[in-house]
């Protein structure tokens, strides 16, 4: 499959927030959001962009929240990781319904439900135009799917990690609680650390920085935002090493 001349992206790792998958619902998955994201991913595949996908689990379970309620943290994290498999199953189904070839891999063996994570196979599937969904995070407790996204992004040699979230990008403060917060179009890794901005957990962020993996944070609730970025648009916030950013 050839890369459309309108985009410079060859392969991306797309991370979708589990919480944003809830849409208007209070828990679980809003099928409208799921189907829209499947269509948006389909457009990228049709443009020749290879797409690896990581989906969060915040719409179902987070280990930290379960531990606060009294559960053992490791058990809570295992539930969180399984929640990401459930989101992965739903997304694979939505992609198949949209006639997009997709495979679901899990960092925890779940024979009969989905494939186990296999790096070489993932690369081969991506090259043949299939979407590969990497679920169950890193397979280890005390991490998040942001870490998994950066890890898998580096492993598959993605051009960038695209982090789809509920807000337009990275702000000077949490825009949900600070209406006056300013949106940044570009930040260096060091600026994020200096300003102590809450973009990703530190483990994920330092992994991306140490391997010079650019991160693009964008609003996945904004229809067409993903395609716009892929086509060179200025949506969201770019994080990389460059001091002189011009895009």
Ligand X SMILES: O=c1ccn([C@@H]2O[C@H](COP(=O)(O)O)[C@@H](O)[C@H]2O)c(=O)[nH]1
d(CA 77, CA 94): 26
Q: Does 148 bind ligand X (CB under 6 A)?
A: yes
Candidates 10, 32, 166, 241; binder of ligand ATP (CB under 6 A) is 166
Q: Does 68 bind ligand ATP (CB under 6 A)?
A: no
Conformational region of residue 16, where left means phi above 0, alpha means psi within -120 to 50, and beta covers everything else: beta
Shortest Å, Cβ 9 to ligand ATP: 21
C-alpha dihedral over 129, 131, 137, 138, to 10 degrees?
-10
Candidates 51, 197, 204, 213; binder of ligand ATP (CB under 6 A) is 197
Residues 6+ apart with CB under 8 A from 223: 36, 40
Candidates 144, 150, 165, 187; binder of ligand X (CB under 6 A) is 144
Conformational region of residue 160, where left means phi above 0, alpha means psi within -120 to 50, and beta covers everything else: beta
SS (H, E, C) 204-226: HHHHHHHCCCCEEEEECCCCCHH
Tell me whether residue 145 is annotated as binding: yes
Q: Does 193 bind ligand ATP (CB under 6 A)?
A: no
Candidates 9, 11, 14, 18; binder of ligand ATP (CB under 6 A) is 18
Question: Residues touching ligand X: how many (CB under 6 A)?
Answer: 23
Shortest Å, Cβ 88 to ligand X: 12
Annotated binding residues for UMP, as ranges? 57, 77, 138-145
Binding site for ligand ATP (CB under 6 A): 17-19, 56, 58, 145-146, 165-167, 170-171, 173-176, 197-198
């Amino acid at each position: 499959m050839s890369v459309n001349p309108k985009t410079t992206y060859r392969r991306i790792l797309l991370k979708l927030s589990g919480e944003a998958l809830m849409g208007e619902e209070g828990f679980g998955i809003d099928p409208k959001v799921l189907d829209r994201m499947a269509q948006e991913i389909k457009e990228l595949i049709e443009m020749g962009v290879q797409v690896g996908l990581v989906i969060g689990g915040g719409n179902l379970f987070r280990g930290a929240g379960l531990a606060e309620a009294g559960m053992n943290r490791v058990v809570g994290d295992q539930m969180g990781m399984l929640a990401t498999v459930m989101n992965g199953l739903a997304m694979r189904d939505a992609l198949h319904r949209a006639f997009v070839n997709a495979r679901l891999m899990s960092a925890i063996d779940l024979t009969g439900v989905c494939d186990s994570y296999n790096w070489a196979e993932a690369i081969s599937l991506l090259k043949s135009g299939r979407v590969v969904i990497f679920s169950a995070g890193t397979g280890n407790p005390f991490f998040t799917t942001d870490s998994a996204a950066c890890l898998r992004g580096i492993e598959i040699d993605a051009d960038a990690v695209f982090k789809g979230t509920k807000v337009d990008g990275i702000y000077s403060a949490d825009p949900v609680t600070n209406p006056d917060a300013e949106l940044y179009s570009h930040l260096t890794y060091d600026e994020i650390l200096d300003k102590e901005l809450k973009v990703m957990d530190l483990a994920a962020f330092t992994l991306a920085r140490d391997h010079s993996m650019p991160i693009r944070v964008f609003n996945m609730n904004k229809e067409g935002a993903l395609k716009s970025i892929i086509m060179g648009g200025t949506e969201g916030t770019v994080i990389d090493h460059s001091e002189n950013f011009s895009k």
